[in-house]
Amino acid sequence: MKLFKNLLGSIKPHFEEGGKLEKYYPAYDAIETFLFVPGHATHRGSHIRDGIDLKRTMITVVLAMIPALLFGMWNVGHQHFSQMGVETALMENFLFGLWKVLPIIVVSYAVGLGIEFAFAIARGHAVNEGYLVSGMLIPLVMPVDVPLWMVGVSVAFAVVIGKEVFGGTGMNILNPALTARAFLFFAYPTQMSGDKVWVADAATVDGVSGETVLGTLAAGSKTDFSQMNMLIGDIPGSIGETSVIAILLGALLLVVTGIGSWRIILSTIIGGAVMGLIFNNFAVEGNELMAFNWVDQLLVGGFMFGAVFMATDPVSAAQTNKGKWIYGFFCGFFAIMIRVFNPAYPEGMMMAILFMNVMAPTIDHYVVEGNIKKRLKRLKA
């Protein structure tokens, strides 16, 4: 690393004030502070000294997604070869998945960071760190067979329309990764429906159903996958959303480090469970989604992934402690409601979180107002 530090130090004068490349200093600063701890600090105003900065926070979130990413790569190969009737070893499945997933990640970061750098240079400010997380989230919520050009277009839409028009990281009202997925769903619904054969080359498979669990239920059929399959994650689905175990490992890291809100995660699960129990008690014959066991509702689709990595977004989620309980509960509650009431789109987590992103400021407002009224009453008493 000393070699890189010396190299960066030798070219730094060109990017500093008065240098030939002064305009591109934000790009240089982004690379330097990504590799090394920043050498600058605040000099005025109150501030808190801490051992972690925003980049390290974002990197911790990326590390929390690694278990879901690695399992997702293996599952891509597993689903492909199993539906072709070919028995393969663990490493062969993983390498095949790596070959299919890595280009999606590369396109996501290349397009997203390229736009971030362009906006930073144009505005003359440091590159925002938020896309370190969004760049990984977007591939993980995509189906493996999504065309790369669609990934690029959705990333551009999410970064420009979902974030930069509001002022960049920390100013967006919607989760950028979910904005990308929503754009693809409404612009190219056939690619996101989950009702196609889930292999890399569907032409090689004849008469094999590769629907997701929710896609099967929405079509009025029962799923053949067991609860253990859903927990482990060896089922069809988006790249990083299938394994509850891998997702919970990431949740543990986020909660232990204090980066992810355990209140939002827990309340989202409670909200989903309540709505699932309501539907189970009033299930209509023939409606498989309504009759689907409430525990299984929490294990399939993007529910757990959304609860851990999407709903907890510190920018677009509620900020007050009481608000987090309310916000999370309705994220889970509405997610299951949308699944059942809208069979054309059985995966409701995306719409539920985006809706609650919009409602989060209102929730916090009334929580704060309520606290003020309580304190005023105590003062009068």
pLDDT at 143: 87
pLDDT band, very low/low/confident/very high, at 199 (cuts 50, 70, 90):
low
20 neighbors 14 (Cβ within 8 angstroms)? yes
133 neighbors 110 (Cβ within 8 angstroms)? no
3-state helix, strand, coil in the chain (%, to 5): 65, 0, 35
DSSP result, 283-337? PPTT-HHHHS-HHHHHHSTTHHHIIIIITT-TTTS--SHHHHHHHHHHHHHHHHH
Which residue from 346, 358, 357 is spatially nearest to 185, judged by alpha carbons? 346
What is the model's pTM? 0.84
- More confidently predicted of 364 and 210: 364
Does the pLDDT at position 99 exceed 60?
Answer: yes
Does the pLDDT at position 32 exceed 70?
Answer: no
Task: Report pLDDT digits (tens) over 221-246.
Answer: 888 889 999 999 999 888 999 999 99
Alpha helices in 124-243 (DSSP H): 131-140, 148-160, 176-187, 189-192, 213-218, 227-232
Those residues with Cβ within 8 angstroms of residue 56's Cβ, 6 or more apart along the chain or in another chain: none
Does the pLDDT at position 38 exceed 70?
Answer: no
Does the pLDDT at position 157 exceed 60?
Answer: yes
Q: How far is CA 245 from CA 13, 48, 108, 198, in A?
A: 48, 36, 25, 21
Task: Report pLDDT digits (tens) over 110-153.
Answer: 999 888 888 877 777 666 667 888 899 999 999 888 899 999 99
pLDDT at 82: 86
Task: Report pLDDT digits (tens) over 55-86.
Answer: 678 889 999 999 999 999 999 999 889 888 88
pLDDT at 207: 38
Sign of CA dihedral 12, 16, 18, 24: positive
> How far is the C-alpha of 233 from the C-alpha of 202, rounded, in Å?
21
Q: Averaged over 318-346, what is the pLDDT?
A: 90
> How far is the C-alpha of 240 from the C-alpha of 244, rounded, in Å?
10
Structure tokens at 124: 């003359």
254 neighbors 230 (Cβ within 8 angstroms)? no
Q: Averaged over 294-313, what is the pLDDT?
A: 93
Which residue from 33, 15, 31 is spatially nearest to 23, judged by alpha carbons? 15
When the pLDDT of each residue in the chain is averaged and rounded to a whole number, the result is 83
Which residue from 110, 103, 107, 182 is spatially nearest to 141, judged by alpha carbons? 182
> How far is the C-alpha of 98 from the C-alpha of 354, rounded, in Å?
30
Stated length of the chain: 381
Task: Report pLDDT digits (tens) over 245-263.
Answer: 999 999 999 999 999 999 9
* pLDDT over 70, % of the chain: 76
> How far is the C-alpha of 257 from the C-alpha of 51, rounded, in Å?
12
Alpha helices in 84-147 (DSSP H): 90-123, 131-140
- More confidently predicted of 194 and 293: 293
> How far is the C-alpha of 186 from the C-alpha of 188, rounded, in Å?
6
Q: How far is CA 81 from CA 78, 181, 211, 371, in A?
A: 6, 27, 15, 57
Does the pLDDT at position 324 exceed 90?
Answer: yes
Does the pLDDT at position 206 exceed 50?
Answer: no
